[in-house]
A and B are shown apart, each in its own frame.
Chain A
Amino acid sequence: MADHSAHAGHGEHHIVPKRVYFLVFTALIVLTWVTAWVSTVELGALNTVVALSIAIVKASLVILFFMHVFYGTRLTKLIVGAGLFWLILLLFIAMFDYWTRTWVGVPGR
């Protein structure tokens, strides 16, 4: 593995201290109850923004710490990033059709 030897350090298993897990766990629980509570407060369109933002923060915490991506190799980060990027491509490009369907003002165009 001559050309990998430079990255060999990444492959050593990095043991994450337990403290990190408990901190992340606490944050996740708090955020869960915050998002549940916020949904009962009238914020108009902001409700959606808040709910999704909190979900993204929670998911990031899980990915980075529970799933060790924070300590992972560049390649792991690249793969995760690619997955999310493609998901966004799928959602946004397809939604673009739906967003622009009324622009021409002719049914079916």
Chain B
Amino acid sequence: MEPRSFQLFPDAASSIAGQVDSLYAFFVLVSAFFSLLIAFLVIFFAYKFRFRPGIIPAGNTDDGHSVGGMILEIVWSVIPLGLSMIMFAWGASIYFTESRPPADSMEIFITGKRWMWKVQHMEGAREINELHVPMNRNIKLTMTSEDVIHDFSIPAFRTKADVLPGKYTTEWFQPTKPGAYHIFCAEYCGTKHSGMVGTVYVLNQQDYQDWLARGSGEGSMAEQGQALFNQLGCGNCHPSLVNNYNGRAPNLAGIYNNKVTLKDGTATRADEAYIRESVLFPQAKIVAGYDDIMPTFSGLISEEGMLKLIEYVKSLSPQVNSAESAPSKPVTDAAAEQKAGRNPVNPAGKK
């Protein structure tokens, strides 16, 4: 990224950025109008009604409780109220858009750790403090932290979300302009908080494919998750093939995002949070019909490992297999390209 010495307005490089900027412009106009109005009135009154010995302005005793005063009070209560409701509704509608990643989003996983961002692509590629994304694709980040609260902020995309330990948070965007933009950690996280920065590279489709093709040599996330699954011995109890039941532990095939009935009769959705909790706190929500026999894996699996395991479980549910939304299955098994993927490709348009 080329350092710039001066800037007045941030780059706008995502689909939402234009909407946020319009809203901002509206707020600035309203604020400027009222600030200038008040400033003008204050200066004007201070001059017009300046103290002059012996001169008492007519109406000097009007205390605002006359009929005219009441009308004024109502006017300057109702107009700001009306304006502020517009502000609220406009802002809320943008926020709702930001809350709901489109169904066709491509998933990328972020793990915050003091003081670095670890990025894991579905196809297996990993990055640190860099994030390569294709242009004009909806991208959904699933994020968690290994220690304290961080916040994954990309000002050029006008988006940010806190990254918390012990749970997953989500943020999505659609990059619209190739280039390199700042990633900041926006939630104070300790000594080198200001060093927890990175760069997001928006590549056009072809450059992104090229970059992805360098791969990690470690297989896709789901494949790595499967390896971990086997290594931890999860498969000894949990069947992962359709229609395979053993009575010890629930079959994982097809459970992702489906309802499971729990021992106490309530139901829950087997989303990322539930899977995570069931690995770390297996006794918290036991599926109906199974015994409390699973040991906790708390402390045995890193946050990144957990993401891979979840990705593996998701891959067992074909209808939501997010691989379908990836542009194409990347070639990741080329041993010769093992570590090459770590080196960022210079984005198009940058020398």
Contacts and interface: CB of A to CB of B under 8 A. Distances in A.
Interface of A: 102, 104-109
Nearest to B140: A106
B259 interface: no
Contact of B167 (A102, A105, A107): A107
A107 B272 contact: yes
A108 B142 CA distance: 9
A80 B168 CA distance: 41
Contacts of A104: 99-100
A108 B100 contact: no
Sorted nearest first, the 10 A-B pairs with minimum C-beta distance are A108-B169, A107-B168, A109-B99, A106-B170, A108-B170, A107-B170, A107-B272, A104-B99, A107-B273, A108-B168
A98 to B, nearest CB: 13
A107 B100 contact: no
Contacts of B99: 104, 106, 109
B101 interface: yes
B161 interface: yes
B146 interface: no
Contacts of B187: none
Q: Which has the most chain B C-beta neighbours within 10 Å: A105, A106, A108, A109?
A: A108
A107 B161 contact: no
Interface in B101-138: 101
Interface residues of B, number: 16
Contacts of B167: 107-108
A24 to B, nearest CB: 39
9 contacts: A104-B99, A105-B271, A106-B170, A107-B167, A108-B143, A108-B162, A108-B167, A108-B168, A108-B169
B46 to A, nearest CB: 38
Main DSSP-derived SS at the A contact region: loop
Contacts of A108: 143, 161-162, 164, 167-170
Nearest to B169: A108
B166 to A, nearest CB: 11
A46 to B, nearest CB: 15
Q: Which has the most chain B C-beta neighbours within 10 Å: A102, A104, A109?
A: A109
Contacts of B101: 106
Interface string B148-173: 00000000000001101001111000
A108 B169 CA distance: 4
Contacts of B164: 108
A34 B154 CA distance: 59
A11 to B, nearest CB: 33
Nearest to B257: A105
Contacts of A106: 99-101, 170
A49 B249 CA distance: 35
Contacts of B272: 107
A109 B269 CA distance: 15
Contacts of A107: 142, 167-170, 271-273
A16 B271 CA distance: 60
Nearest to A102: B269
Contacts of B142: 107
A105 B164 CA distance: 18
Given A107-B142, A108-B161, 5 more contacts: A107-B272, A108-B143, A108-B169, A108-B170, A109-B169
